[in-house]
């Protein structure tokens, strides 16, 4: 079954247009949603969950039209949006009392397990939490009502490396049953390298790549050479950057033979993204 299917989604603002975009997520998949700030990631996630009204397009969740079944389907979606602000003097336990009332399958056992795992004290007030602890608390709420599809905006933002590792472990455990699915936006490409099956890459409101993570990375190579030689290749590459004495440039793997005089290496996801964005800016 397809957990999420987006077809020709469009959302227009005065100075930004999202779409039309289309992509889908199958049961058991972890999909990383990447792109620079302002590319449309959060707008997409908000549109999926109907926090902003789309202009056109359709969204299906578990093969049902979301618009026609919103109340039912939201019971099965674990949603986390970055930058949510609660009243600062409220205790976490009081926020939880309000949130849990909305979910028929809320699990106190799961909730308290995550509190323990994330070292969260529900007697604390919001104003006493670090930014990382706020992220952990929002994630705890999203994970505690037996959802099958998780839509998460920057779920590892603000976390230290150990906590990020714990979160990606949780993602992999959640999808072990091959039923649960996760779509999460992130700027931290190391997290994708650890747990993502696929990436969906958005730029200026449009999808520019949607592929298996390893297949996507294997389609690119990194070219390195002395800085004085950059003029030889800068019009032939996807994007490049210079340091004090050298350059590195991104090329398609199929064009490898054209760059035989230079050092050629595999490219990691972060480098692919950075140099692709530089190339798009130059273009």
Tens of pLDDT, residue by residue over 114-125, are 999 999 999 999
Q: In which band, very low, low, confident or very high, does the pLDDT at 82 lie, cut at 50, 70 and 90?
A: confident
Q: Are 137 and 90 in contact (CB under 8 A)?
A: no
Sheet holding 77-80, edge to edge: 77-80, 149-153, 181-185, 30-34, 198-203, 206-212
In this prediction, residue 158 carries a pLDDT of: 82
Evaluate if residue 5 carries a pLDDT over 80. Answer: yes
In this prediction, residue 30 carries a pLDDT of: 96
Question: Would you tell me how many other CB atoms lie within 10 Å of the CB of residue 247?
Answer: 21
Distance CA 133, CA 118 (A): 8
Distance CA 257, CA 253 (A): 9
In this prediction, residue 243 carries a pLDDT of: 86
Helices marked H in 4-104 — which ranges? 41-48, 70-74, 92-100
Evaluate if residue 262 carries a pLDDT over 80. Answer: yes
Q: Are 150 and 78 in contact (CB under 8 A)?
A: yes
Evaluate if residue 85 carries a pLDDT over 80. Answer: no
β-partners of residue 91 are 125
Distance CA 133, CA 173 (A): 21
Distance CA 277, CA 137 (A): 33
Indicate the length of the chain as a whole number: 283
Evaluate if residue 108 carries a pLDDT over 90. Answer: yes
Domains of the chain with CATH codes: 2-216 (3.40.50.300), 219-282 (3.30.70)
The sign one gets for the Cα dihedral 276, 280, 151, 162 is positive
In this prediction, residue 265 carries a pLDDT of: 92
- Segment 127-144 mean pLDDT: 91
Contacts of 163 (CB under 8 A, 6+ apart): 118, 132, 136, 156
pTM of the predicted structure, to 2 decimals = 0.90
Evaluate if residue 175 carries a pLDDT over 80. Answer: yes
Evaluate if residue 280 carries a pLDDT over 80. Answer: no
SS3 15: coil
- Segment 130-140 mean pLDDT: 90
SS3 128: helix
Evaluate if residue 143 carries a pLDDT over 90. Answer: yes
Mean of the per-residue pLDDT values of the chain: 91
Q: In which band, very low, low, confident or very high, does the pLDDT at 84 lie, cut at 50, 70 and 90?
A: low
In this prediction, residue 283 carries a pLDDT of: 53
Evaluate if residue 258 carries a pLDDT over 90. Answer: no
- Segment 257-261 mean pLDDT: 83
Tens-place pLDDT, residues 176-222: 988 899 999 998 888 998 899 999 999 999 999 999 999 999 999 99
Report the DSSP pairing between strands 220-226 and 246-252. Answer: antiparallel
Tens-place pLDDT, residues 14-60: 999 998 999 999 999 999 999 988 899 999 999 999 999 999 999 99
In this prediction, residue 168 carries a pLDDT of: 92
Q: In which band, very low, low, confident or very high, does the pLDDT at 232 lie, cut at 50, 70 and 90?
A: confident
Q: Are 62 and 24 in contact (CB under 8 A)?
A: no
């Amino acid at each position: 079954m397809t957990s999420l299917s987006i077809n020709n989604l469009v959302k227009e603002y005065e100075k930004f247009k999202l779409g039309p975009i289309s992509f889908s997520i199958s049961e058991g998949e972890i999909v990383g949603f990447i792109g620079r700030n302002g590319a449309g990631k959060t707008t997409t996630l908000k549109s999926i969950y109907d926090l902003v009204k789309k202009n056109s397009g359709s969204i299906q969740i578990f093969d049902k039209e979301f618009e026609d079944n919103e109340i039912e389907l939201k019971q099965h979606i674990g949603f986390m949006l970055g930058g949510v602000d609660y009243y600062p003097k409220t205790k976490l336990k009081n926020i939880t009392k309000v949130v849990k009332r909305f979910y028929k399958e809320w699990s106190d056992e799961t909730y308290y397990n995550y509190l323990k795992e994330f070292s969260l004290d529900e007697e604390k007030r919001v104003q006493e939490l670090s930014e990382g602890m706020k992220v952990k608390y929002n994630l705890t709420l999203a994970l505690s009502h037996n959802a099958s599809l998780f839509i998460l905006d920057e779920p590892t933002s603000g976390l230290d490396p150990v906590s990020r590792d714990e979160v990606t472990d949780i993602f992999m455990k959640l999808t072990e049953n091959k039923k649960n699915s996760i779509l999460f936006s992130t700027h931290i490409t190391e997290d994708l390298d650890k747990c993502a099956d696929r990436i969906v890459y958005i730029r200026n409101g449009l999808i520019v790549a949607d592929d298996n993570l390893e297949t996507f990375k294997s389609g690119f190579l990194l070219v390195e050479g002395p800085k004085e030689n950059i003029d030889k290749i800068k019009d032939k590459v996807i994007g490049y950057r210079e340091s004090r004495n050298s350059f590195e440039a991104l090329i398609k793997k199929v064009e490898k033979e054209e760059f035989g005089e230079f050092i050629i290496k595999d490219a990691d996801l972060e480098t692919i993204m950075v140099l692709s964005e530089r190339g798009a800016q130059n273009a």
